[in-house]
Structure 1
Amino acid sequence: MRVGFLVITVLVAVVAKSQDAHYWTEQYGTSSMLLSNSVFGSVEDLGAVYYNPARLSFIEDNAFLISGKVYQYSSYKFETTTDTERTSPQKQSAFGGAPSLLAGTYRIKGLDKQSFAYSFLGRRRMDINIIESNSAYGNVLPSIPGEEHFSGDVILQKKFNEEWLGLSWAYGPNDRFSIGVTNFLTIRKQQAADEMQIKVYTESEDVETFSNHNSYQFSHMGLLWKIGLAWHLNPVSWGVTITTPTVSLSGDGAFLYERVYTGIYDSNPVYELNGQRKLETTYKTPFSIAGGLGIKLKRGSLHASAEYFGPVKEYTLMSGVPFEGQSTGEVYQAYLIDELNPVLNFGIGYNFVLSDEIVGYLSYSTDFSAAVAGLNDDSGFRAVSYSSTFNSDINHFGGGVELHLKRVDITFGATYSTTKYTLERPISFPPSGGNGLLETGAQTDIRWNRWRFIIGISIPFLTDFAKKWEEKLFNKEETSN
């Protein structure tokens, strides 16, 4: 009996869950979420702080937006094929909250043609912790004579959280043109770990053990700017948005490596352990330029946008200090590398008017991966790890309705994202070579799906309420006089 399928099935999840190589995975604002990022030239809600800050000049009333009621259900399905067998499909799923937007606009007295906004948005977030275990009895490892009791555990973790805090300004000299800027403070924290533990009890009553652990973590703070231009000539609106690369402010990280192998059957026991902290970190993002337009139709609006992201040449995000393995005397040094290809995404959306109170939405957008094809170093010591590894393209679909009530706008909807790809990756044990735990030529088909369920609420500030009290107070003063 072979249990190698367990190991490869879980290890490929490292690739499946690294979605930080995609730029259009998130959407912001109530209606903008259901239009799948197609609103760079026509955004009409407070998603403008992200898509095109110049459009803030065309938002007539001060408003406060919470698009925090967003829940997502994501699932992975793995099916591995070797030269001799095809395993049963393995599944992983999770349900929870999704990144969201909190934003508000305000005016400053005396600056009638200028608009201001503040925002807090979750740019990227993922938290996956996979633990798989299996056991068997038989001739599991051909390199060990006779039959043995075998047990194995694989632990994989990857977590990252990126949040942006923004202040926006827009200036509209007339009702046809506007310019705007958003300055974002970016805060990113990322960590990843993979650990394998194998234990064998042989017919000769020997115990063979192998454990291997590699992990890293880093945090980074930086600044970037979104600069927008917007034109409005009824029935057409269009705009352009430029996003600058991130300017690093601070960052630090850590590496941890541990490897222990009893080496009973090849007389090469291994003990290696090293941890490093307070390592300097630099995190880079690409320059991008986006353009879009919106066309008012008789019973709705058509939206279309595209955004080009430039390449990021290979660079060292974090570099470890050389160290010597305790039992082997070998010198090791760890590197966390990142490299991103250029990407062009596009999206199209249509919102149609069903009545004065009900508006519907349909949309589609691409989400191409910028990750450079390749896998992390799969040796016992991971000398090179790649921060971005998921190189499959994602398709996004959106739909929903918006209810325009007397004092509040409520949006209900859902988005669906999906991708499928194939990965080849053999695993070798014992670490010194010989017969592997899994035959070479193993191939794993991976399917990833995500549903998001959206409840958005947009509440106008109490402008009318304040005006009424001001009028009452003024009239009262006149009466008293």
Structure 2
Amino acid sequence: MIRVILTGILVLCISQILFAQDANYWSASYGPGAFFTPGAVIANNQDSGVLFYNPALQALTKKKTASITGNIYQLESIKVKNGAGTGKDLHSRIISSVPQMLSGIVSVGRRKPVYFGYALTNISVLNYNVSQQQDAKLDVIDRGGSPGLEYYVGQYNFQNHTREASALISTGFRLSNRWAIGFMAEGQSRSQHYSEAFTSRALVNDSTSSTQPLASNEGAYQVDDHHIGLRLKLGLSYEAGKHHLGLLLSSPLIHLRGRGTLLSNNAIANVHFIDDEPVNLLANTRQTNLKTNYKVPASIALGYAYDYDKGQVYAAAEYFMKEKDYNILTPRPEFFVRPDTGNSNLSTVALLEMREARKAIFNISVGVSYRLKPLLTGYCSFRTDFNYADRKDTDGFLPNTSTWDNYYCQLGVNVKRSKYNLRAGVLLGYGHTNSYQQPINFDDPKESNLLSGTIGTVPATRITAALVIAFIHNL
């Protein structure tokens, strides 16, 4: 019976800090849906020789180029309204300036040169940082020994920083006047810092004691992990006058190496959770050199472009397969609950692991270019970025923060010269949900809910605005 109660308390205690933007595939501005970014297309790009996303397109150009693309100014705002209780919003606002891509095409050989494309990308997948506090007199202790209101202090903070860097190399060959084929290898490095913690404390109004006892619940969970993987891609291109078709097949991410560190601390003191006897619990661990495994499913992308008198109309779509529930980080079944009862560590792995599952996603993009002047072209594109998070249970922790779909629009111009192209524009993004689960609720902390409040769902909104610039130099 003790083990059952202990396990139940641990599950409730730790699950209170489960927190479910980073669960999206097309967030990066250089993907197949970003018509504005040079070369980030499936079917065709008339204005730039930087054709790295579909490697088959390299066979259609004989240019040697070098390019740099970056967000010289970017604002990302994520706001969870009443995220920690009424009037206690969780608001993360990040301003950054980050180069995103270095890319180009080089040739090998003189008589029959072979052209290779390369790209180095750097993505800030998520930079989320929030905190909140409640300091008030509330009716927290619901037993008869503490009449009236108690002094209560609750704090919550959460950080989720995820970055990805990739190195790509590709080449393409003509099969005929209309058909071309290309191959690409992409090495990916992903790092994440995930840190979530809360404290919830109340002074008990105990008339039988000369001091006021403290009832408290606190929990913390931190993971730092790094993963290296490899994706292989096969591209096809078909050209028929004004019509351009492209196909890109991407393999699942192949695991090469992954390591992580886990730190967890949970303590409950003097909380009458189930009966008249107070609960006192201490559970903590630190584990290093844990194996990590981050998965990306296989995908298939299609693109079509049509040339008209003043420009081009473009459409692209990509379908990502589903990914079954798996562990990103699996802790060892080591000593966790203190004192050890001999059975209390049976659920350590389930409570502390980091897991995710992904549903199948189908993203689409449309774009249009219009020649304003002989050397000046305007661009406009729109794309979806649907959320793939698909975990249903509450064991362990989720690596993601977002649970909403995003939509992006890009507007810009391309200035063309004999030796270079200069492209500049703005990126606007929006995402929203009305059913975001609170991580904690400071409105009604009670002993019956371990001083964590009654968790509900609230609105959450994400807004992104960026000034993007790309420079392509013809070598």
CA–CA distance in structure 2, aligned partners of residues 427 and 96 of structure 1: 29
Residue of 334, 349, 355 corresponding to 2:367: 349
* Structure 1 residue 257 corresponds to structure 2 residue 272: no
Secondary structure class of the residue paired with 1:263: strand
- Deviation of 1:427 (Å): 4.5
CA contact (8 A) 2:310 2:370 kept: yes
Residue of 404, 411, 414 corresponding to 2:426: 414
Q: Give the aligned partner of residue 139 of structure 2.
A: 139
CA–CA distance in structure 2, aligned partners of residues 277 and 161 of structure 1: 21
The range that moved more, 30-39 or 267-276, is: 30-39
- Deviation of 1:131 (Å): 2.4
CA contact (8 A) 2:44 2:244 kept: yes
- Deviation of 1:58 (Å): 2.2
Residue of 160, 164, 167 corresponding to 1:165: 167
State the TM-score, normalizing by the size of structure 1.
0.82
CA contact (8 A) 2:67 2:473 kept: yes
CA–CA distance in structure 2, aligned partners of residues 107 and 355 of structure 1: 32
Residue identity in the other structure for 2:311: G
Residue identity in the other structure for 1:118: Y
Residue identity in the other structure for 1:355: K
- Deviation of 1:208 (Å): 3.2
State the TM-score, normalizing by the size of structure 2.
0.83
CA–CA distance in structure 2, aligned partners of residues 34 and 103 of structure 1: 15
Q: Give the aligned partner of residue 285 of structure 1.
A: 296
CA contact (8 A) 2:446 2:453 kept: no
CA–CA distance in structure 2, aligned partners of residues 418 and 88 of structure 1: 22
The range that moved more, 199-208 or 364-373, is: 199-208
Residue of 195, 198, 201 corresponding to 1:196: 198
CA–CA distance in structure 1, aligned partners of residues 201 and 33 of structure 2: 54
Instruction: After TM superposition, list the pairs within 5 Å mapping 1:59-458 onto structure 2.
Output: 59-80=61-82, 87=87, 91-98=91-98, 100-110=100-110, 112=112, 114-123=114-123, 125-142=125-142, 144-173=146-175, 175-204=177-206, 205-263=212-270, 266-322=277-333, 323-327=335-339, 329=341, 330-331=344-345, 332-333=348-349, 334-374=352-392, 377=394, 383-388=395-400, 390-421=402-433, 422-425=435-438, 427=440, 433=448, 437-439=452-454, 442-458=456-472
The range that moved more, 114-123 or 173-182, is: 173-182
Residue identity in the other structure for 1:95: I
CA contact (8 A) 1:242 1:289 kept: yes
- Deviation of 1:438 (Å): 3.0
CA contact (8 A) 1:290 1:307 kept: yes
- Deviation of 1:178 (Å): 1.8
The range that moved more, 227-236 or 429-438, is: 429-438
* Structure 1 residue 48 corresponds to structure 2 residue 61: no
- Deviation of 1:132 (Å): 2.0
Residue identity in the other structure for 1:215: Q
Residue identity in the other structure for 2:266: R
Secondary structure class of the residue paired with 2:466: strand
Evaluate the alpha carbon distance shift between residue 36 and residue 163 of structure 1 in structure 2; reply closer, same or farther with a 3 A threshold.
same
Q: Give the aligned partner of residue 479 of structure 1.
A: none
Residue identity in the other structure for 1:347: S
- Deviation of 1:328 (Å): 6.5
- Deviation of 1:95 (Å): 0.9
What whole-Å deviation, never above 9, does each CA across 1:201-253 have from its counterpart, x for those lacking one?
Answer: 34443333332111223211111112111122221111111111111111122
- Deviation of 1:300 (Å): 0.9
Q: Give the aligned partner of residue 476 of structure 1.
A: none
Residue identity in the other structure for 1:445: P
CA contact (8 A) 1:312 1:339 kept: yes
Evaluate the alpha carbon distance shift between residue 299 and residue 456 of structure 1 in structure 2; reply closer, same or farther with a 3 A threshold.
same
Evaluate the alpha carbon distance shift between residue 397 and residue 37 of structure 1 in structure 2; reply closer, same or farther with a 3 A threshold.
farther
CA–CA distance in structure 2, aligned partners of residues 217 and 90 of structure 1: 23
Residue identity in the other structure for 1:433: S
What whole-Å deviation, never above 9, does each CA across 1:273-310 have from its counterpart, x for those lacking one?
Answer: 11111112222211111111111101110001111111
CA–CA distance in structure 2, aligned partners of residues 64 and 400 of structure 1: 20
CA–CA distance in structure 1, aligned partners of residues 39 and 78 of structure 2: 24
Q: Give the aligned partner of residue 3 of structure 2.
A: none
CA contact (8 A) 2:194 2:399 kept: no
Evaluate the alpha carbon distance shift between residue 217 and residue 370 of structure 1 in structure 2; reply closer, same or farther with a 3 A threshold.
same
CA–CA distance in structure 2, aligned partners of residues 110 and 76 of structure 1: 52
CA–CA distance in structure 2, aligned partners of residues 98 and 226 of structure 1: 26
CA contact (8 A) 1:14 1:158 kept: no
Evaluate the alpha carbon distance shift between residue 335 and residue 417 of structure 1 in structure 2; reply closer, same or farther with a 3 A threshold.
same
CA–CA distance in structure 2, aligned partners of residues 206 and 448 of structure 1: 42
- Deviation of 1:398 (Å): 1.1
State the number of aligned residues: 438
- Deviation of 1:48 (Å): 2.7
- Deviation of 1:72 (Å): 1.6
What whole-Å deviation, never above 9, does each CA across 1:61-83 have from its counterpart, x for those lacking one?
Answer: 2110000244321112332399x
CA contact (8 A) 1:35 1:350 kept: no
CA–CA distance in structure 1, aligned partners of residues 356 and 420 of structure 2: 45
- Deviation of 1:338 (Å): 2.2
CA–CA distance in structure 2, aligned partners of residues 356 and 162 of structure 1: 38
Secondary structure class of the residue paired with 2:109: coil
CA–CA distance in structure 2, aligned partners of residues 201 and 167 of structure 1: 62
Residue identity in the other structure for 2:383: S
CA–CA distance in structure 2, aligned partners of residues 413 and 41 of structure 1: 22
Aligned CA-pair RMSD: 3.0
Evaluate the alpha carbon distance shift between residue 182 and residue 124 of structure 1 in structure 2; reply closer, same or farther with a 3 A threshold.
farther
CA contact (8 A) 2:437 2:457 kept: yes
Residue identity in the other structure for 1:96: S
- Deviation of 1:445 (Å): 0.6
CA contact (8 A) 1:34 1:415 kept: no
CA–CA distance in structure 2, aligned partners of residues 460 and 230 of structure 1: 23
Residue identity in the other structure for 2:286: G
CA–CA distance in structure 1, aligned partners of residues 282 and 451 of structure 2: 21
CA contact (8 A) 1:71 1:453 kept: yes
- Deviation of 1:167 (Å): 1.4
Secondary structure class of the residue paired with 2:22: helix
Unaligned stretches of 5+ in structure 1? Answer: 1-10, 378-382, 462-481
CA contact (8 A) 1:30 1:456 kept: no
Instruction: After TM superposition, list the pairs within 5 Å mapping 1:453-472 onto structure 2.
Output: 453-461=467-475
Q: Give the aligned partner of residue 474 of structure 1.
A: none
The range that moved more, 130-139 or 303-312, is: 130-139
